[in-house]
Amino acid sequence: MADDNKKQPQSNDQEENVTLTNRQGHPVTDNQNVRTVGNRGPITMENYNFLEKITHFDRERVPERVVHARGAGAHGVFEAYGTVGDEPISKYTRAKLFQEKGKQTPVFVRFSTVVHGGHSPETLRDPRGFATKFYTEDGNWDLVGNNLKIFFIRDPLKFPDMVHAFKPDPITNVQDMERFFDFIGNSPEATHMITFLFSPWGIPANYREMQGSGVNTYKWVNEAGEAVLIKYHWEPLQGIRNLLQDEANQIQSLDFNHATIDLYDAIENGNYPEWELCVQIMEDNYHPELDFDPLDPTKLWPEDKFPFLKVGKMILNRNPDDYFNEVEQVAFGTGVLVDGLDFSDDKLLQGRTFSYSDTQRHRVGSNYQQLPINAPHSRVATNHSGGQMRYQSDRAPGQNPHVNYEPSSLGGLKEAPKPGKDHEPEYYDARLMREKIDRPNDFAQAGETYRNFEDWERDELVKNLGANLAQCNEEIRSLVLGNIKQADEEYHRRVQEELDKVLADPNMGKPLHRAHAAAKKAEDKGHDAKPY
């Protein structure tokens, strides 16, 4: 009797399906040996399969993302509730994906760390990216944000400087907290963000159990062209978990890929993570009753005035088939909006909207939207021509292929009918200027956030700030502590006391940068070996 578990010989069809070929479709009969003059002689130039294989290998890596380089992703579906809170959602937006209860839209989500490189540990203190691509019937919508609901800066002109300060030193190629806090101390609007970042909220336990936020302020537009201001929030139905620094260190000592494998294993085992999408809604005006500008991304909108209203639920239920094709090449942009969604005048959002898509064109290529992971599931018809790696024409059925411009009377593409009244916001009667917004109020919410933390979160925040500020010179420490003092007196006192304790430790002297300390420890602990 045949052993059922024994592998059966493949049929001819099966053998053909798994036969190795090159990119030209030619079967590869020897993938172990290059062609040489004699079996130990030099390689000849006609080794086509070798040259094709090695030159592709040499180009396997596209330029790494400047930020959000380390990432993990998954496919899923978003299901609309058809309402926003207790009201029909059509009152506020005509976006089709939200209108019907139970309507499902495919999604792809990429989680990431922000500052660190592609193979950096996922335990490092850093905001986490939370970017969602909705493949709607009206084309793609990208909701691009982070796990933390605010940001370091409010003006996009400061973004390159911020990233440079947080990235490795251009001479030593090592990240340096003195450089980090030099920028932070001279940017008082960042005080609120570092209050979150150096608390346990700066190290989420994994990607499944963290919040997401659009960070910036957007708009919703209804059928009549009326608009409201919107903040987006993803709330995990698994709950929220964060790590202490000591716990993160222990996890990193085991492995530095824990969040990626956690997401993969959960989906592989059918433990599909879910989030509810909530929005905060505000009338589109200046709001003089608030002590901050609602367009300021360094601020939270108070929930007691602007409650979280549920609009739908997302479930991630399928892992990528290929990491590079999907997670690495997926390209997001804050300008990727569908009808019924719009921009606010948030300066940082305006800057991101140019920068994100410009980065994708540089990183992946001018035709990055034709890649399957980026391509909309709806029909595409454009007059774009040429460009690197273009592999199809965006022609409509019946379009005259000789006409790649508009307007035309020769059978070219035509403008679409308007789905509703245009939103026509009133623009400012003001001078063109370079000036920060009114009501910057850089410190009040930082103090409020500190006071709202639980005791253990405050303890961890103080411990982390003290340890990291100890690596800075006195001028930078004074700048940062001065900002913290304006946020909350107790907050300032406790960080100052922790800093003094670290600086007074006789075993430390002047604290070394962690890289210096690690290098010294490696030298001290290294075991002698004889040459071989």
What integer pLDDT is reported at residue 6 of this predicted model?
Answer: 45
Mean pLDDT along residues 453-457: 98
pLDDT at 9 over 60: no
Backbone angles phi, psi at 469, to 5 degrees: -65, -25
Residue pair 162/152 in contact by the 8 Å Cβ criterion? yes
Residue pair 188/202 in contact by the 8 Å Cβ criterion? no
* 383 catalytic per annotation: no
What pTM does this model have? 0.91
Which two tokens mark 16? 């053909």
C-alpha span between 260 and 122 (Å, rounded): 8
What integer pLDDT is reported at residue 32 of this predicted model?
Answer: 83
Selection from 387, 489, 487 nearest residue 446 by Cα: 487
Selection from 332, 281, 327 nearest residue 307 by Cα: 281
Mean pLDDT along residues 449-468: 97
What integer pLDDT is reported at residue 435 of this predicted model?
Answer: 86
Q: What is the pLDDT of residues 300-309, one digit of tens each?
A: 999 999 999 9
Q: What is the pLDDT of residues 210-242, one digit of tens each?
A: 999 999 999 999 999 999 999 999 999 999 999
Query: Residue 505's pLDDT band (boundaries 50, 70, 90)?
Result: confident
Question: Of all helices (H) and strands (E), which one includes residue 245?
Answer: helix 245-254
Task: Report helix, strand and coil shares of the chain as percent, to nearest 5.
Answer: 30, 15, 50
What is the torsion angle, in degrees rounded to the nearest 10, for the CA atoms of residue 325, residue 327, residue 328 and residue 331?
100
Mean pLDDT along residues 27-56: 84
pLDDT at 383 over 60: yes
Mean pLDDT along residues 393-411: 90
What integer pLDDT is reported at residue 215 of this predicted model?
Answer: 98
What integer pLDDT is reported at residue 13 of this predicted model?
Answer: 56
Give the three-class secondary structure for 92: coil
Distance of alpha carbon 188 from the chain centroid? 24
Query: Residue 432's pLDDT band (boundaries 50, 70, 90)?
Result: confident
DSSP 397-465: TT--TT--SSS-SSS---PPPPSSPPP-PPPP-------PPS---TTHHHHHHHHHS-HHHHHHHHHHH
Q: What is the pLDDT of residues 185-200, one digit of tens each?
A: 999 999 999 999 999 9
C-alpha span between 184 and 187 (Å, rounded): 5
Q: Which of 49, 68, 258, 367 is catalytic?
A: 68
Mean pLDDT along residues 376-384: 89
* 68 catalytic per annotation: yes
Query: Residue 513's pLDDT band (boundaries 50, 70, 90)?
Result: low
pLDDT at 354 over 60: yes
pLDDT at 313 over 90: yes
Q: Which of 49, 140, 146, 404 is catalytic?
A: 146
What integer pLDDT is reported at residue 446 of this predicted model?
Answer: 98
With vertex at residue 252, the alpha carbon angle to CA 481 and CA 329, rounded to the nearest 5 degrees, is 95
pLDDT at 7 over 50: no
Mean pLDDT along residues 311-321: 98
C-alpha span between 85 and 147 (Å, rounded): 23
Lowest-confidence region among 199-208, 275-284, 357-366: 357-366
Q: How many residues does the chain have?
A: 532
Report the mean per-residue pLDDT for the chain: 92
Lowest-confidence region among 68-82, 227-241, 345-359: 345-359
pLDDT at 5 over 50: no
